[in-house]
Amino acid sequence: MIFGRKEWENALQRIFMDTAVGVIAGASVVGKKEKEGPLGALFDLHDPTGRFGQKTWESAESEMQRLAFNTALKKAGLRDSDFDLLFGGDLLNQCVGSAYGLCGFHIPYCGLYGACSTSAEGLILASLAITSGFATRTAVVTSSHYCSAERQYRSPLEYGGQRPPSAQWTVTGAGAFLLSRVSEELPPPTVFVTRVCPGRVVDMGIRDANNMGAAMAPAAVDTLLRFFSASGEHPTDYDWIVTGDLGFEGGAILRNLMEAEGFPLGENYRDCGQMIYRRKEQDVHCGGSGCGCSASVLAAHFLPRLANRKDRRILFLATGAMMSPDSIKQGKSIPAVAHLVEFSYYLPQNSDCGKERFSMDFKNQKEFPEARNNAGQGNDAAPAVPLAEGEGPLDGSTDADQPTDPALPSAAPDPDLQTTVSASPEWSKPTAPPPLTAVKTDHPSSEGGLLSHPSENDPPVVTEQAFRDDPDDAEPADGTEALRKRLPRGCDEDEGDPGDGAANAPGEIPTEGC
Amino acid sequence: MDWVTGCLKAFLVGGILCLIAQLLIDRTKLTPARILVIYVVTGVFLGAVGIYPALAEFAGAGASVPLTGFGALIAKGTAEAVREYGLIGALIGGLSSSAGGIAAALVFGFLACLAVKGKPLE
C-alpha cells in the first residue's frame, strides 16, 4: 500500500489541530477568462485586459493582491493597522508579487511559497498565529497570473508554444481572507476555520510539468487519508470536499485513489480548477491552476455559501506542485504538497479550541481524543464555546436553546454518519448551529470608491460586490451539460445531508481529452 | 492554374508535417522543444540522403517552410561548403546557408514586438 501508511499512529507527530478562528471577510479579483467562466458573477473585481492598469504582467499580479486585500478590508470595515500579521504568496520568483503588492500595507509580512497550495498554507499559518495568541487578526493574500506564470514556469506568451491536453491554465486571480480571533469585542465572524491539517511533501515520480494534476493528486490523497484516519471523519460528513487545482486529470486520479483506499469521494467532491472555467468553450484543457484558482473560488463561492448557511462544513484542500523551471530542465520529478483546512459556519459545541489546548503536553498527543472528551465534559456547564475567559462569542447558546432550523441538514437521522465518525463523538453529531442571529454579520456593503486606482489614464473596469446573498444564482445555469453535472447540488433543496448514502457512489470521472 | 495546384500541394505536404507534430504533442510526452529538434534533425537526414530536395521540388513552400525544410537547408549548405572549402566547410555551411532565415526571424520578430504587445489567447 502506497498511501495510508499508518506510521503516524504510534508516532508523536501531530496530524491536525482544532482551531476556533473566524473568517470575517474574503475578496476575489480575477481576469477576463475567469470572469467569463461559470463562477464569473461571483467575483468581486475583474479587469478584461488582465493588466490592472500596470505595464507588466508581474505588476498586474501585485496590483491584484492589493485590490483583493483592499476589497476584503472594505467588506470587513477594517483598516490595515487592525491586523497583526499578513501572509502573502504567489507563483513568482522570490514571491515578488506579494512583496510589491502588499508593501503599501503597514502590517508585519510573511511571504509564503507553497506553489498552488499557498492559499491553504496561509490560512493554516494565519489560523495558528491567532490560536497561539500572538495575533488578534491576520490576513492571507495569494495570487497567480496566467501571463506571469507562463513566463515564470514555461515560456513567455510571445513564444506561442502549443499546450498539451494535460496542461492546466493558470488562473489570473487573487484572493484575500481576513481572519480574526473570536471574541465579544470583535465583530462576530460568519465562517470559522475549525481544523487545520498541514500536508507532507509527496513525490511519486511524475516528471511532466504539463501534468501537474497527476503529480498533486497523491499529495491530496496523503493529506486526506491522514486527516480522516486521525480525526475519524469520513468524506460523507462534509457538504463539500474541495480541492484547489487538481483539474480534470488530477481530480479523476484523486477519486480513483481515494476509492481504492476506502474513502470514496462522492457527489460532494469539487475541484476549483474544474469549476472556474468552461472546459470546452474556453479551451483550458485540464482546468485551472495556480494560487489564485483556489483562493478566488474559495473567497467568491464557498465562503459565501457557508456565510449564507447554505453549507455547514467543508474541507478545503489546496494542492501545490513544488517544481521550478530549473528542476524540470534537470529532469527532476515534481514534489507536491496538499494542505487541508476545515471551514464551518458554526463552532462545534464542546470543542476545546481555546487557549487551554496549549497547556497540553505535546507528548500526550496519542491521548488526544480522550483529552478532548475530558475537556468537553468539563465544559458542559460552561458556555458552549469555551474560549478564554470572557470571550464567549456565540452568546453562550447551550444545547437546550438550540433552534431547530428545518432548512438545515438534520443532525442525527442518518445511520451512516454515526457509524463512520464514532471515533470522535463530539464531532460526530453535528450539533445544531447556534442561533443564526448570534453570529450573523452584516458586512459593510462595499460600494465603489475604495479602488482609487494609481493609473488614472487606464483604469481597469472593476465591478464589486459584497458577499452575495445567493451565490447559487451564478452557478453555471448557462454552463455546459457536463459542468452542470459536476455541480448538481443545490443545498436549497435540502438534500444536503452529508451522510447521504447515495453520495458514496463515485461519480462520473471525466477522462476524455486527458 | 499552375499556382492552384501548387498551393494545393504545398497545403497538403505542409499540413501533413504539422499534423504529425500535433499528434506528437497530443499523444506523446515529448515537449515542444524536443519535437522541434526532432524535426530539424529529420530534415537534415532527409536532406542528406536526397529525399527532401525532391519533396521541396514537389511541394514548394509546403516543404521548405516547416522546420524540416530548415534542416534540409542546413544539410545542403554544409555539403556545398565542404565541396568548396574542404572539411572546415562543415562548420561554415550550415549557418551560412540558413543565415537569411535566421536574420529574417530576428528582424521581423523585433519589428513585430515594436508594434504589438503579447497577450493571452482569447
Closest residue in B to A150 (Cα) is B120
Nearest-neighbour CA in chain A from B1: distance (Å):
35
What cell was used for A75?
Answer: 467588506
Q: Which residues of chain B from 64 to 83 reach within 8 Å of chain A, CB to CB?
A: none
Closest residue in B to A34 (Cα) is B122
Could you tell me what percent of chain A has a pLDDT over 70? 65
Residues in chain B with CB shorter than 8 Å from the CB of A147 are 118-120
Q: Is A441 exposed, middle or buried (0-12, 13-18, 19+ CB in 10 A)?
A: middle
CB contact under 8 A, A208 and B29: yes
The secondary structure of A360-405 as a DSSP string is S-GGGGGGHHHHHHHHHHHTTTS-SS--STT--TTTT--GGG----
Strands (E), A74-210: 85-89, 109-112, 137-144, 169-170, 173-181, 191-197
Q: Which of A178-187, A314-323, A465-474, B6-15 has the lowest mean pLDDT?
A: A465-474
Strand partners, A86: A109, A139
Position A5 scores a pLDDT of: 56
Q: In this predicted model, what pLDDT tens digit does every residue of A408-454 receive, in sequence order?
A: 333 333 334 333 333 333 333 334 444 433 333 333 333 333 333 33
Which pLDDT band, with edges at 50, 70 and 90, does B110 fall under?
very high
The continuous run of DSSP H or E covering A240 comes out as strand A240-243
Residue A298 clears pLDDT 70, i.e. is over it: yes
Position A394 scores a pLDDT of: 37
Position A349 scores a pLDDT of: 60
For the residues A123-129, what does the mean pLDDT come to? 96
Q: Which of A31-40, A468-477, B29-38 has the lowest mean pLDDT?
A: A468-477
Position B72 scores a pLDDT of: 94
Strands A173-181 and A269-271: unpaired
Q: Mutating which of B29, B30, B34 best tests the A interface, going by the most A Cβ atoms within 10 A?
A: B29
Reduce the DSSP state of residue A17 to 3 states and report it. Answer: strand
Q: In this predicted model, what pLDDT tens digit does every residue of A183-219 receive, in sequence order?
A: 887 778 889 999 999 999 999 998 888 888 999 999 9
What cell was used for A340?
Answer: 487541508
Helices (H), A154-211: none
Helices (H), A383-475: 415-420, 425-428, 436-439
Position A237 scores a pLDDT of: 92
Residue A57 clears pLDDT 90, i.e. is over it: yes
In angstroms, the CA A338 to CA A222 distance is 8
Position A62 scores a pLDDT of: 96
Residues in chain B with CB shorter than 8 Å from the CB of A157 are 118-120
Alpha carbon distances (Å) from A493 to A68, A88, B112 = 32, 38, 56
In angstroms, the CA A278 to CA A36 distance is 9
Reduce the DSSP state of residue A413 to 3 states and report it. Answer: coil
What distance lies between CA A285 and its chain's CA centroid? Answer: 23
CB contact under 8 A, B26 and A165: yes
Position A390 scores a pLDDT of: 37
- Residue with the larger pLDDT of the pair A482 and A231: A231
Helices (H), B28-120: 32-48, 51-59, 61-64, 67-85, 89-115
In angstroms, the CA A484 to CA A38 distance is 10
